[in-house]
A = this chain, B = another copy of it.
Amino acid sequence: MLSKQDIAGFFAAEAELNLADYAIFEYIFECAEDPELAAASLCCEQSTAQWKRPGVDEDFRPEYGAKVISLEDCRGGSPSPPGTKSYRVRVAHPHKNFGPRIPNLLSAAAGEGPFYCPGIERIKWIDFELPASFLNQFEGPQFGLAGVRERLKVYERPIFFGVVKPNIGLPPEDFAAIAYQSWQGGLDIAKDDEMLADTTWSPLVERTQRAVSASQQAAKETGTPKFFLPNITDEVDLIPELYQQVKAVGAPMVMINSIFTGYSSLRALRRYAEVPIVSHFTGTAVFSRLPHYGISSLVATKLQRLAGADVIIMAGFGERMGCSDEEVQANVAFCLQEWGDLKPVLPVPGGSDSAETLPLVFEKIRHADFGFICGRGVYGHPKGPAAGAASLHEAWDKIAVKLS
């Protein structure tokens, strides 16, 4: 248990810190006892748990300790458990404790410190900020929003994605035939489902080869670029070889499920990829869904941009995805805003969408810089995938008329 004096060593005035040396981690937490003790413990446990050697006159806290720079009552959100109160805390953590490395940053911000902290009942890591000199040590997106638009030559409307369905079970030839129909109908990008990767019954390279070939045919016929997006999610040491193989057969983009490969694998891919990278959100809800526990989806979005995703498919609007409109809007806005030298990325809020939901999604975004993604909305269309894809353009044209 920290004494009053111990606690003081984990507090600092923001104005007195050299902020270039600190990452700022923001949490909400619930505690039943003294919030200052809880917040100091949070800092203690995520940095210099024992800040001196017994019998040595020293104190590692000034240089290496994480420090509370603000602590306030937090109203709103879901009610706290009986007997507890909610607090919002901002912690300044010396980034030299971990360096510009995602797994190490996460070990400090979301590891044993915060999530096994004495005196804290529940905690959610809701945001972080990095000083420019540290932020710019991450490469960030190679192509970003502008690069993706240039490659597709689509500038003034949302980019239309389709997740080929049936997502599991189609042989490569049938898969490519369906994708082809959707490109003919006007889709920009036909993609693998996040659950479909390199399987015995649909080998990734064969599927990619057939789909890319179909996309080239569709591009020739329609006079517009058509992309196939293969899912190269696999064991992380096999991803580089899979990348080379799909690249060799013409893949113009690649996708990984970055939660399950780890965000660091996304960054590793970014270091050698020569095409845009799409990061898929699958798995995010495991830690982001609950209002007072886990890690926010905004943190997830920031980490993916940090790691170099050019396109971020995220849980979008609508009841199924369990996100508030404000949460999705914040994620979309973050993708597009300035952030050090890291390029803006294309946000793709998704979830059981179709031509019918496009006006609703647009109402919430109010601009065209997003990707719109459908599975059953295109490939389950009663008149087939071409009609499904065409229905997206028709829906957008009605919006565009109102806009102009």
How close is A320's CB to chain B, nearest CB, in angstroms? 6
B98 touches A197 (CB 8 A): yes
Contacts of A376 in B (CB 8 A): 49-50
A115 touches B285 (CB 8 A): yes
Contacts of A107 in B (CB 8 A): 194-195, 197, 233, 257, 260, 282-283
Contacts of A298 in B (CB 8 A): none
Binds B, one of A3-11, A31-39, A53-61, A221-229: A53-61
How close is A204's CB to chain B, nearest CB, in angstroms? 11
Given contacts A49-B375, A104-B234, contact A194 B112 (CB under 8 A): yes
Contacts of A112 in B (CB 8 A): 194, 281-283, 285
Binds B, one of A148-156, A163-171, A361-369, A391-399: A163-171
A54 touches B289 (CB 8 A): no
> What is the CA–CA distance of A28 and B312 in the complex, to the nearest angstrom?
30
A48 touches B169 (CB 8 A): yes
> What is the CA–CA distance of A99 and B63 in the complex, to the nearest angstrom?
48
How close is A301's CB to chain B, nearest CB, in angstroms? 16
> What is the CA–CA distance of A351 and B89 in the complex, to the nearest angstrom?
24
**Binary per-residue interface labels of chain A (273-306) against chain B in the complex, 1 for a CB within 8 Å, 0 otherwise:** 0000000011101110110011100000000000
A195 touches B111 (CB 8 A): yes
Given contacts A261-B264, A265-B262, contact A234 B101 (CB under 8 A): yes
Given contacts A49-B167, A50-B375, A200-B96, contact A116 B237 (CB under 8 A): no
* Chain B CB within 8 A of A267 CB: yes
**Binary per-residue interface labels of chain A (371-383) against chain B in the complex, 1 for a CB within 8 Å, 0 otherwise:** 0000110011111
B110 touches A286 (CB 8 A): yes
* Chain B CB within 8 A of A271 CB: yes
Interface residues of A in 31-80 (CB under 8 A from B): 46-55, 60, 63-64
Given contacts A112-B282, A115-B283, A384-B54, contact A103 B49 (CB under 8 A): no
> What is the CA–CA distance of A282 and B110 in the complex, to the nearest angstrom?
8
Given contacts A166-B48, A283-B111, contact A260 B257 (CB under 8 A): no
A168 touches B320 (CB 8 A): no
User: Please, which residue of chain B has its CB at the minimum distance from the CB of A94?
Assistant: B168
**Binary per-residue interface labels of chain A (303-338) against chain B in the complex, 1 for a CB within 8 Å, 0 otherwise:** 000000000000100001110000000000000000
**Binary per-residue interface labels of chain A (152-180) against chain B in the complex, 1 for a CB within 8 Å, 0 otherwise:** 00000000000001111110001000100
User: Please, which residue of chain B has its CB at the minimum distance from the CB of A97?
Assistant: B168
A195 touches B233 (CB 8 A): no
A64 touches B111 (CB 8 A): no
B294 touches A287 (CB 8 A): yes
> What is the CA–CA distance of A268 and B265 in the complex, to the nearest angstrom?
12
B201 touches A96 (CB 8 A): yes
**Binary per-residue interface labels of chain A (79-121) against chain B in the complex, 1 for a CB within 8 Å, 0 otherwise:** 0000000000000000011110111101110111101101000
B116 touches A315 (CB 8 A): yes
> What is the CA–CA distance of A146 and B220 in the complex, to the nearest angstrom?
62
The 8 Å CB contact of A64, one of B169, B281, B320, is B169
* Chain B CB within 8 A of A198 CB: yes
How close is A267's CB to chain B, nearest CB, in angstroms? 6
Contacts of A98 in B (CB 8 A): 195, 197, 199
* Chain B CB within 8 A of A236 CB: yes
* Chain B CB within 8 A of A235 CB: yes
9 contacts between A and B (CB under 8 A): A53-B178, A60-B169, A97-B168, A101-B198, A102-B235, A103-B234, A104-B260, A287-B294, A289-B293
